Amino acid sequence: MSTLVITDLHVSVETPEGTKEILRGVDLTIDSGHVHAIMGPNGSGKSTLAYSIAGHPKYTITSGTVTLDGEDVLEMSVDERAKAGIFLAMQYPVEVPGVSVSNFLRTAKTAIDGEAPKLRTWVKDVKSSMADLRMDSSFAERNVNEGFSGGEKKRHEILQMELLQPKIAILDETDSGLDVDALRIVSEGVNRVKDKTNVGVLLITHYTRILNYITPDFVHVFVDGRVAEQGGPELAERLEAEGYDRYLTKA
């Protein structure tokens, strides 16, 4: 059982025009085995929240706390956060030229576990996860994300999550750009990992479609750098029907 607690988080970035505050007091608690969906308009700070938790150097935490099982996450390096069990599937996964998927996964697994995975079970695990995600085995020898289609990149993110077995997974628009079959396959992957490892999931999305496959326990509406409203799955339906006007005119 793990808990990620975000309290009154304020985050800013340096821009040519000066310091810009993006997160303006985020409160959020994620327990193992729960799915939290975050929905909200473009530019409201959802990816900034994801990056800030993962430790991206561009984002400066000006106040607030993030803890994982009581440990101060903000004090940790990016590597330490990953080792502690925080996983981020980025909205725009980056290419890693010269590094094959197979090498990348093994290196990441070794770094996170502090020891190399046992070769026989590891090869089997990779193969079976790739098969579950309908990824051709030839992907293992391709360079990470190089020439991957949008959907292939997203499957690769889920493959990483499945093999690295984090405590808390942040999935930033893992559903965007997926065709209907891929959406189902990726969703099943998330559900499978959740059933197997009891991971807590922060699912950033614009669409209720994925929430038909991955049922959220909580839905948070993110507006202008903070949580404007929260509720259960029914809140997602309401957002789909009504949009965000209600929140924006209040501001």
Nearest to ligand ATP of 8, 141 (CB atom): 8
Nearest to ligand ATP of 145, 205 (CB atom): 205
| Positions in 75-134 near Mg ion (CB under 5 A) | 91
Quick one: tokens of 130?
A: 């790739």
Nearest to ligand ATP of 162, 173 (CB atom): 173
* CB-neighbour burial class of residue 125 (10 A; exposed 0-12, middle 13-18, buried 19+): middle
- Taking the C-alpha atoms of residue 79 and residue 108, their distance in angstroms, rounded to an integer, is 10
Q: Which does 58 bind (CB under 5 to 8 A by kind): ligand ATP, Mg ion, none?
A: ligand ATP
Q: Using CB under 6 A as the criterion, which residues of the chain lie in contact with ligand ATP when the complex forms?
A: 13, 15, 20, 22, 40, 42-48, 58, 91
Amino acid at 208: T
Contact (CB, 8 A) for 36 and 235: no
Minimum distance of Mg ion from residue 150's CB (angstroms) = 15
Q: Which stretch binds Mg ion (CB under 5 A): 14-22, 47-55, 157-165, 186-194?
A: 47-55
**Residues in the chain, how many?**
251
Quick one: tokens of 36?
A: 């939290």
Nearest CA to 32 out of 4, 54, 66, 55 is that of 4
2, 47, 129, 208: which one binds Mg ion (CB under 5 A): 47
- Taking the C-alpha atoms of residue 154 and residue 168, their distance in angstroms, rounded to an integer, is 18
Minimum distance of ligand ATP from residue 105's CB (angstroms) = 26
Nearest to ligand ATP of 22, 105 (CB atom): 22
Quick one: tokens of 29?
A: 């608690």
Q: By the criterion CB under 5 A, which residues form the site for Mg ion?
A: 46-47, 91
